[in-house]
Amino acid sequence: MATVVTPSHVFGLRAGVKNNLLYLDEQTIIFPCGNNCVRYNIDQKFQRFIPGTERSQGMQALAISTNRRYLAVSECGEKATITVFDLEQEQNRRRKVLTGGEMVVNEFVCMAFSPDSKYLIGQAGGPDWTLFLWMWEKKKVMATVNISNNGPINQVSFNPQDNSKICVSGKGVFKIFHYAGETLKQSNAFKTDSHNFLCHTWMTTEQVLAGTETGQLMMFESGRLRWEINVTSVQKTESESKQQYSGEPSSALLQVTAIVSYSNGFACSMGQGTVCLFEKTEKADLYKKTRVIKIPPKRFSNDLSLTEKQKISALCISPSEETLVVSTDLGQLYSIHLSLAELQKGECAYFEYLSHSFHNNIITGLSTCIRKPLIATSSLDRSVRIWNFETNVLELYKEFQEEAYSVALHPTGLYILVGFSDKLRLMTLLMDDIKIFMEFTIRSCRECTFSHGGHLFAAVNGNVINIYSTTTFEDVLNLKGHNEKVRAVAFSLNDSCLVSCGMDGAVYEWNTLSGTRESESILKTCSYTGVAISPDAKTFFAVGTDCSLKEIQDSQILKEMSSHDVVCTTVALSRSGRTIFIGTSTGTLRVIKYPLMIQNDWIEYQAHAGPITKMVITFDDQFLITVSEDGCLFIWKIIDKEGQGLKREKVLIYSEEILTNKLDFDEKNKMLLELNAKVEELQEDNKCQLSLKDTDYNKKINELSEKCIQQIISLNAEKEVLKKEKDNQQAAHIKAISDILERHDKELHDMESSNNQKLMLEYEKYQELQMKLHNIQREYEQQLHSTEESKTQALEDMMQSYEAKMEEKVMLVNQCQDESQQQFREFEEHIRQEEEDTDTEIHDIRMKYEQNLREEKKANSKLKVELDTTKKRFHDLQREIENGNLEIEKLKQEVQKLQAVIKSLENDITGLKTAIQNRDGIIQDKEKNIFQLKKKNDTLNKTLEVMEFRAEYMQEQIEPKENEIQQQKDQMVEMEGELKEFHKTNIQLELKIAELNLKLKTKDTEVHKEMKKVQDAGVLVQRFKADLYKCVEYIQDPPRLKENIQELYKKYVQPSDVVEKPGEDTDVPKENSRHREHYENVIITLKKQLSRDTNIFQAKNTKLMKDNVMLMKEINDLRQELHTVRMQLRSFESQSSLNKNIKRSANTRGTRSAGRTSLMMQQNFEETEKVIQLQRMEIQRLKQEILCQTPSSRTKLPPL
């Protein structure tokens, strides 16, 4: 069953991605981690993954559509791309992949969707900083604009209600573009050279709020600055305290790095680790700061200033505007409910971790244990974290003063070994803390591990491996053998041996009892980085800098699998021994089936955005854990291709024991007792207060009830008064309405009479206008008829004039054709003269070429002497070159600066070149028509000469090759005849052997018959002896003895036996001796034939070997000839190029002749190569026939 992996959970955030935090719905957020985007459900703590593209160098920015259906991801690679995913589908299918088209784009810095999600804008990186507008579903670029030449662009966005308005902000840039007529036109004219805009947001369809690097908030309306707020004045006291603490200017601390708007106002970052909420005031377009939210200090952190100095990189508000989520530059995620912040209006509110605290630097160590579902990680951020891979929770976390380089968990999960920059420390894992238990004097321990039994642990000290006892903490063994640093160590399952690999290219197997080296494999060209051991401890797997996986057994490399120019950093083998996992320098994970196949076959997964540093498989083969330089921890579920987990041999039951310190336990018990006492006191106080409040509330209720009764009575009286007033007003309103209706009827009658009179007058005017129109139409028809007649006469006159002109042109064309025929005849005569001239020139060039070859041979002998002297100079020059390379690198930096200036100048040059090319094109078109016929004739003549020369050359080479082929065919015929003779002799021998086998079988049957007769005779003799023994009893009684002897004679003696016995006794030995002599003679003759056959085979084998040697000599001679021809060609090409340059200045005939000779030599060279390839094929065919003819080791020799 094939094994695959699926990502189960991930801990980490990629901080360098623009807009790296997005809300999909009320419970789900999207953020980048490694080379994937994660869909994280905040309530259910469940994750789904959107993988990045293959061979991408990392994500740059994210963007989500306004309908929250599509996600855009920009990535770097060979070409910068933007991938649009459909989030409504289950597998997040890719919809489209957008590029810069013909323009070279290295990266897309930021992106945004239009309000209707049909358009997408993407800001390309420097030096051009081009803005692209796509209709992304059709992959159509609608418009492009160059934004800036100086600084970076930080954000782009669409107007929330208008697709045609786009805002762009950056260093010295704040522009609003309007899309119209397939172009983007700038609509604002605000000077922003002195400001660096880090972010912006649309407040309304006309207002844009922007934040600057100096802590200013600027409101722009219709492209003009409306108002400006300085954050330093808003938050003066806090900035002064931070300035005194850190010694940095307040403007640097109070940068507005992120801003987001919502219905009541907006939220923006105000300095490091601080977010402020602003709400609208009663005055129009003015906002007031209402709340301040800060990032809390870490619980176990030694440097509290780091947490407070985190920069807010992204802000995001949930669709219901209930939750604010924040991401920082240290890769942390925080959240806060805005309802809680509203309760703490007077106080400063604090964020909470959205899920857990993550690593913010390279993860250097990784380990798991057997008895608990725990993962331990160490990082260069000076922290050690303990994770639970079943519940996906951060169990423990602590920061130290030194950097942690390695980590190892004890199999029980109660102890941890951490290698710091100053010492190696053994610590205990308590309920809520990690305490140091023992220290060892090993500095910067890069690799450490516990044995599977837990009684030993190994620690790397440079190129020495120290093995300590976990019970006595004594240094049991010091394993020395590596010449450079050891990069990886691994214990076998039974802890009897340890395998190590190092940067010196050595893989050693050590005996953990005696400390001796049991096996070794050294490859100096490779620096190993990872090693794994098989369950049976017989096979090792190592990876290194030579881009391959090596299978090592018995100190030899059995197999080697190439990784296609990708450096493998780590390797892990499953407990079942059927699957190998490899981590690469590009951050991908590869799954390889074991045993290794002949072809390179693996499954590759997009995992991390940096090289994978460590990789571990859990003890039950259910999970694979990987960590990387990007600070992310991936947990992969190991399954089969059907999606089911791997079968377990034994179900592991994890222990729930926890270590606690006795003092802490006592203190907690005291605290519990004190708290219980306080709870009892508070309960009694609450009871007293409740009884007092009940009496007070009862009094208040009685008072309120009396007041309510009095108010009800007064309201009823007022109600009756109001009813009377209502009736009076209603009667007055009815009278007024009746008067108004009467007036309205009178006005309607008057209006109808006046309007009828007006209509009659208008009708009379309409009839008069109709009469006028009828008269105008008649006049117009008469004019049309007259113009048509004049037009027909003009057309007839024009036709006659043009026919006369056509006849004149036909005459001119006939004359031109006659002239062209005469010119063609003259041109043919001119070609014949040129051919004669070129033949003479070719002959002269050949003579010169032969003289030059002789001179160059002499020069080569002189150059060999000079080579020795130049080699010495070469070594001196290499040293000078190294010094020069350092200067070149400095110059390259200056060149890069100048290249930016050159590119701007090249753009001006290209514009001028296009104008020049347009003019040159008109000139070239006229010249091409003149020289087309000349070129055609030249090419035809050249091809004729080349074909003739090739035919002669091929005939010269075919004749000797045909003779050689006939000789080899004759040899083949002789060999076939000898083979037929061998087959005949073998058939004869096989027939003789079959005859002898038949004779042997007949003799064996006869021998068996004789043996049966002997056995029967023995039985008769025994019976006869028994009867004789009975007769001997009657020796003293002769008559009875005679009777008994007569009975014996009748019983055992027969007449046939008496006759046959003497004949059989004489013939049997003679027959046996005769058969023996015959078989001995046959064996002697067979031995002679075998010795003769072996001599013949040896002679023929020696003959074949001699033929092979001759063929190899011929191959070497042909190779030398080919090498000499190539050298001659190179020298001739160099000389022909010089002759061309000289003769071009003199005349054009020399250039044509040189071109012809170069073509001839090139074609000769191609023909020689083809002939050599054919000869190689013939030699290989002959070798195969010889191998077929030679007797193999499996053929049976004739039997003795």
965: its two tokens: 């082929």
Contact of 247 with 256, CB cutoff 8 Å:
no
Does residue 1197 register a pLDDT over 80? no
**Cis omega (within 30 of 0) on the bond before 1055?**
no
Written as one string, the DSSP assignment of 781-823 is HHHHHHHHHHHHHHHHHHHHHHHHHHHHHHHHHHHHHHHHHHH
Q: Looking at residue 629, what is its pLDDT?
A: 93
Query: What are the pLDDT digits (tens) for 996-1021?
Result: 888 788 888 888 888 888 888 888 88
CA distance 1073 to 1055: 30
pLDDT value at position 902?
A: 78
pLDDT tops 80 at residue 1122: no
DSSP per-residue letters across 483-514? SS-EEEEEE-TTSSEEEEEETTSEEEEEETTT
- Answer whether residue 241 shows pLDDT above 50: no
% of the chain with per-residue pLDDT over 90? 29
Element (H, E) at 990: helix 662-1032
**Tens digits of residue pLDDT in 271-286:** 788 899 988 887 767 8
For residue 423, give every residue at least 6 positions away whose Cβ sits within 8 Å of its Cβ, in sequence order, or none. Answer: 439, 440, 441, 442, 443
- In this predicted structure, the answer to whether residue 440 has a pLDDT above a threshold of 90 is yes
User: Taking phi first (over 0 means left), then psi (-120 to 50 degrees means alpha), and beta for anything else, what does residue 478 get?
Assistant: beta
pLDDT for position 365: 95
Check residue 382 and give its pLDDT.
92
3-class DSSP state of 183: strand
Q: Cα separations (Å) of 1020 from 942, 1043, 1059?
A: 113, 20, 18
Q: What is the pLDDT of residues 32-65, one digit of tens each?
A: 999 899 999 998 888 999 988 887 888 899 999 9
* Average pLDDT of span 490-517: 92
pLDDT at 21 over 90: yes
Q: In sequence order, what are the residues at sequence separation of 6 or more whose Cβ sits closer than 8 angstroms to the Cβ of residue 607? A: 7, 34, 35, 36, 583, 587, 588, 589, 626, 628, 634
Q: What is the structure's pLDDT at 1063?
A: 43
Residue 432 pLDDT = 85
Amino acid in the structure at residue 884: G
What pLDDT band is residue 1059 in, cutting at 50, 70 and 90? very low
Task: Answer whether residue 744 shows pLDDT above 60.
Answer: yes
User: Band of the pLDDT at 341, cuts 50, 70, 90?
Assistant: low
Q: 617 forms bridges with which residues in the sheet?
A: 624
Mean pLDDT of 538-545: 93
Tokens (6 digits) for 989 = 């021998």
3-state SS, residue 304: helix
> What six digits make up the tokens of 995?
């005859």
| Residue 250: predicted pLDDT | 44
Reported as type and span, the H/E element at residue 570 is: strand 568-573
Strand order in the sheet with 548-553: 528-533, 539-544, 548-553, 556-562
User: Residue 1061: is its pLDDT beyond 60?
Assistant: no
Note whether 526 and 491 are within 8 A (CB).
no
DSSP 3-state of 661: coil
In this prediction, residues 559-571 reach a mean pLDDT of: 90
pLDDT category, 1190, cuts 50, 70, 90? very low
Q: For 1057-1065, what is the mean pLDDT?
A: 46
Contact partners, residue 604, CB within 8 Å, separation at least 6: 54, 588, 589, 590, 591
H/E stretch holding 1101 reads helix 1055-1146
Please tell me the distance from the alpha carbon of residue 133 to that of residue 120, in angstroms, as a whole number.
6
pLDDT of residue 1161: 58
Closest listed residue to residue 438, CA positions, set 450, 423, 454, 426:
426
Question: Looking at 714-773, which runs of residues are DSSP E strands?
Answer: none
How many Å is the maximal CA-CA distance in the chain? 193
Q: Are 113 and 74 in contact (CB under 8 A)?
A: no
DSSP three-state, residue 1058: helix
CA distance 508 to 540: 10
> Any idea which residue has 């014949």 for tokens?
832
pLDDT at res. 284:
66
Mean pLDDT taken over the chain: 82
**pLDDT exceeding 70 applies to what percent of the chain?**
89
The amino acid occupying position 79 is K
CB count within 10 Å of CB 583 equals 27
pLDDT of 1191 strictly over 50: no
| Token duo for residue 1185 | 């026939």
CA 195, 199, 202, 203 dihedral sign is: negative
In which region does residue 626 sit, left (phi positive, over 0), alpha (psi from -120 to 50) or beta (all else)? Answer: beta
Separation of alpha carbons 549 and 566, rounded Å: 11
- Name the band, by pLDDT with cuts 50, 70 and 90, for residue 1199: very low
List Cβ<8 Å contacts ≥24 apart for 715-724: none
Helix (H) or strand (E) holding 1159: helix 1148-1189
pLDDT tens digits along 116-161: 999 999 999 888 889 999 998 888 889 999 888 777 899 999 999 9
- What is the tens place of the pLDDT at every residue in 1129-1153? 777 666 666 665 555 555 555 445 4
Measured from the Cβ of residue 615, the count of other Cβ atoms closer than 10 Å reads 24
Residue 765 identity: K
**Residue 52, pLDDT score:** 87
DSSP for 706-718 reads HHHHHHHHHHHHH
3-state secondary structure of 1122: helix
- Identify whether the C-beta of residue 574 lies closer than 8 Å to the C-beta of residue 534: no
Average pLDDT rounded to a whole number, residues 1102-1108: 76
| Rg of the Cα atoms in the chain | 52
| Region of poorest pLDDT, from 192-196, 431-435, 681-685, 1070-1074 | 1070-1074
Other CB atoms within a 10 A radius of the CB of residue 517 amount to 14
Helices (H), 492-600: none
